[in-house]
Amino acid sequence: MRRKLLLAGLLGTVALAWFVGPLAAQPDVQPPVEIPLPEPEPAPTEPETSADPVPPSEFPVQPPVEVPVTPPPPPEVVPTPSTGAAPQALGVMLGGIDKVAARTAKFEANLKQKVFYNTLIITAYACKTRPPEEPPESAAFLEIQERKPDGTTQKLFSGWMFASSPALNALEHPVYDVWVVGCKTAPTANTAPVPPNS
C-alpha cells in the first residue's frame, strides 16, 4: 500500500512537471499599461465667505473729509455798445413752396393782417430784426391755419420762425412749406436827404 501511494505521488509530480514545463518556457507577458487620464478641472467657485464678520476694530473707517468747493466766478459779459436801434418792423417777408407743383413764391404779410397762400391763412403778429452793425437775424411770430374743403379751418402752426434757421421751428405740412425771409421795416429817419438835381 505504501508503494502504491509513493508511485501515485511520483506520477502526480511527473504529470505536474509535464504540464507546467511548457508554460514556464513561454516569455513573460506584461499586463497592459494603464495610461492615467487627466482629471477634469473643477469649475471656478466663488470664494468662500467666512460666517464670522471681520470685527470693525481691524479696519478702522476714516471719516470723510469735506473739501470746500467754490464755484468759478461767472465770466464777465460786456455788452457791445449798439450804435443804432433795431429797425422797427411793419411786416414780414415770407417764402413759400408748393411741393406738389414745385413752385416757389415770395410774399409779404403786414403785422396782424391775414395773408392767403393757396389753402393756408398766415397771420404775422411780430417780427424782430437786429441792427445793421450786428450779424443779420430776423425772427417772426406766425400763426398758420389751413382752410378745409368743408369751410372749416385747422390750426397748423403757432410760434417763432427764424430766418437763419428755417428748420429749427418749421411748418409740418405734406404739401406746403413756409419760411421767414426777413422783416419788412420802415425807412430809417437818420438817412441823409438826397440833394436836388441842379
Phi, psi dihedral angles at 2 (to 5 degrees):
-65, -35
Helix or strand or coil: residue 42? coil
Higher pLDDT, 83 or 151: 151
Q: How confident is the model at residue 186 (pLDDT cuts 50, 70, 90)?
A: confident
Asked if residue 171 lies in contact with residue 178, where contact means CB atoms within 8 angstroms, the answer is: yes
Per-residue pLDDT of 9-54, as tens digits, reads 677 676 666 655 555 555 555 666 666 666 766 666 655 555 555 5
Q: What is the C-alpha separation between 145 and 49, in angstroms, rounded?
A: 72
Higher pLDDT, 62 or 128: 128
pLDDT for 170: 85
DSSP class of residue 197 equals P
Render 102-163 in DSSP notation, one character per residue. TEEEEEEEEBT-EEEETTEEEEEEEEEE--TTSPP-EEEEEEEEEE-TTS-EEEEEEEEEES
Per-residue pLDDT of 107-150, as tens digits, reads 999 999 999 999 999 999 999 888 878 888 889 999 999 999 89
Per-residue pLDDT of 130-139, as tens digits, reads 887 888 888 9
Alpha helices, DSSP H, located in 26-104: none
Asked if residue 161 lies in contact with residue 170, where contact means CB atoms within 8 angstroms, the answer is: yes
- List residues bridging with 146 in a β-sheet: 120, 154
The burial class, CB within 10 Å (0-12 / 13-18 / 19+), for 36 is exposed
Domain coordinates of the chain in residue numbers? 89-183
pLDDT for 93: 92
Alpha-carbon torsion (110, 114, 116, 119), positive or negative: positive
Q: Which three cell numbers stand for residue 139?
A: 425772427
